């Protein structure tokens, strides 16, 4: 009887513990939803403060595989000073990446500037064609007037100056905001490059420091699991960043080839927009297609439909054939989880949130599939064994009580 009572008390205790934890989680969720603006402000401030560090870490992630290739070749000649082999390899990889980037800019920039100049010189003609096209759609007179007025306001020089230069109050804060924002972005990037150099050359030391810290604070029985998660985390992020860059380059290149074959204008500008927006998963390509379609609509409306059809086919091929082959099984994430993380990450962090959404979802999927589910299975088996032992003990006691 006492045994049954103890089991009943234990069951009640566990039930109330679970209810208490569930209630606390529900309260925390309610508080988080009620203070979304504050949470977004906190993350925005944290992101602004750590922007250069994040940029440096991303650059280091991108350059690290190339540095490792150089190091494997140089370390044979630096048997006594392996650190110098890594420093030289990291420096050479960083210089090579930025040299290639500079060469690409030198090649692309003149064509891009020509595209922008040509587009700017014909803006009046394009707007006139757009207005004529709107007049052919037979909208209601009030709607038609609103659309035409909106177009005039957007392309008005006075309106542009008021909106972007003097600011809404006319005190010049718009120009100041644009200038300070541009300088801030440039400085964050330059400081990020310096950070990336130190991240690379001190990679081994950073790994040792972090490894020692986590080894001291994590119980021994859980440390191998944590170590596996960290290795998986590193592999997913490294591969994700590199594959995204390769994918964006391929999409931009294929887009440029199609436009050249079709004889479309502004090949470099449109292809660059397609490549850059392709870096933002799911919603990015559609945003890029919309912007490029507007550009082509202003210049030559006949090109819009073929371009949109080609973009749709390209994105289908990219999403269902090229990307799965490129990413492999490293980012095997359920679609609903990707969409959830994209929405949450985009709302909280904006573009950076969209960029880290998929690898973060991949990490959580890995933890769920490889750690949490096996733990639940083991726990269920242990509980089943305990219940079976209890039943056997009860069966042994029953005859003795009857006797």
What is the tens place of the pLDDT at every residue in 79-101?
Answer: 777 788 888 888 998 999 889 88
Mean pLDDT over residues 356-365, rounded? 78
Mean pLDDT over residues 151-158, rounded? 60
Are 163 and 157 in contact by the 8 Å Cβ rule? The answer is no
Are 321 and 251 in contact by the 8 Å Cβ rule? The answer is no
pLDDT the model gives residue 257: 92
pLDDT the model gives residue 161: 52
Give the C-alpha separation, 49 to 46, whole Å: 5
Mean pLDDT taken over the chain: 76
CA-closest candidate to residue 371, choices 232, 180, 177, 168: 232
- Which tokens go with 136? 């052919």
> pTM of whole model > 0.85?
no
Tens of pLDDT along 4-44?
Answer: 445 445 444 455 565 676 677 777 767 766 666 676 676 66
DSSP state of 350: S
Tens of pLDDT along 287-344?
Answer: 888 888 877 877 777 888 888 899 889 888 887 777 766 665 556 777 677 767 777 7
pLDDT score of 201 more than 50: yes
Give the C-alpha separation, 298 to 124, whole Å: 10
The more confident residue out of 236 and 352 is 236
Tens of pLDDT along 98-146?
Answer: 898 888 788 777 777 777 777 777 777 777 777 777 777 777 778 878 8
CA-closest candidate to residue 71, choices 92, 57, 98: 92
Whole-number percent of the chain with pLDDT over 70: 75
- Which of 233-240's residues contact partners 24+ apart within 8 Å by CB, and which partners? 233/363, 235/330, 236/330, 236/331, 236/359, 236/362, 236/363, 236/366, 237/61, 237/359, 238/61, 238/64, 238/65, 239/327, 239/330, 239/331, 240/327, 240/330, 240/331, 240/358, 240/359, 240/362
Mean pLDDT over residues 156-172, rounded? 53
Q: Is 90 exposed, middle or buried (0-12, 13-18, 19+ CB in 10 A)?
A: buried
pLDDT score of 162 more than 60: no
Mean pLDDT over residues 360-382, rounded? 81
């Amino acid at each position: 009887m006492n045994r049954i009572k103890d089991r009943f008390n234990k069951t009640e205790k566990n039930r109330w513990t679970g209810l208490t934890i569930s209630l606390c989680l529900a309260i925390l969720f309610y508080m988080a939803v009620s203070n979304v603006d504050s949470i977004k402000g906190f993350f925005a401030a944290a992101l602004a403060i750590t922007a250069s560090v994040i940029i440096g870490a991303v650059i280091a992630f991108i350059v690290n595989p190339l540095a490792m290739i150089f190091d494997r070749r140089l370390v044979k000649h630096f048997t006594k000073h392996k650190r110098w082999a890594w420093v030289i390899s990291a420096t050479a990889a960083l210089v090579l990446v930025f040299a290639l980037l500079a060469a690409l800019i030198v090649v692309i920039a003149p064509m891009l500037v020509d595209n922008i100049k040509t587009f700017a010189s014909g803006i009046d003609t394009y707007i006139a064609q757009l207005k004529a096209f709107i007049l052919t759609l037979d909208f209601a007179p009030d709607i038609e007037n609103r659309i035409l007025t909106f177009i005039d306001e957007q392309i008005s020089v006075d309106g542009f100056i008021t909106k972007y230069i003097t600011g809404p109050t006319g005190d010049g804060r718009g120009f100041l905001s644009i200038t300070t924002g541009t300088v801030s972005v440039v400085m964050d990037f330059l400081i990020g490059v310096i950070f990336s150099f130190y991240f690379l050359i001190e990679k081994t030391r950073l790994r040792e420091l972090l490894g020692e810290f986590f080894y001291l604070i994590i119980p021994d029985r859980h440390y191998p699991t944590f170590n596996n998660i960290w290795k998986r985390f590193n592999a997913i992020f490294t591969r994700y960043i590199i594959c995204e860059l390769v994918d964006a380059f391929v999409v931009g290149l294929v887009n440029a080839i199609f436009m050249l074959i079709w004889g479309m204008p502004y090949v470099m500008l449109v292809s660059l927009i397609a490549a850059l927006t392709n870096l933002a998963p799911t919603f990015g390509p559609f945003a890029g297609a919309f912007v490029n379609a507007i550009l082509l609509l202003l210049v030559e409306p006949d090109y819009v439909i073929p371009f949109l059809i080609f973009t749709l086919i390209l994105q289908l091929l990219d999403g269902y054939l090229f990307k799965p082959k490129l990413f492999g099984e490293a980012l095997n994430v359920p679609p609903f989880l990707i969409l959830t993380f994209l929405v949450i990450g985009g709302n909280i962090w904006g573009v950076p949130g969209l960029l880290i959404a998929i690898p973060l979802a991949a990490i959580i999927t890995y933890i769920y599939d490889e750690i949490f589910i096996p733990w639940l299975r083991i726990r269920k088996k242990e509980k089943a064994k305990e219940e079976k032992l209890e039943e056997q003990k009860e069966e042994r006691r029953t005859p003795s009580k009857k006797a």
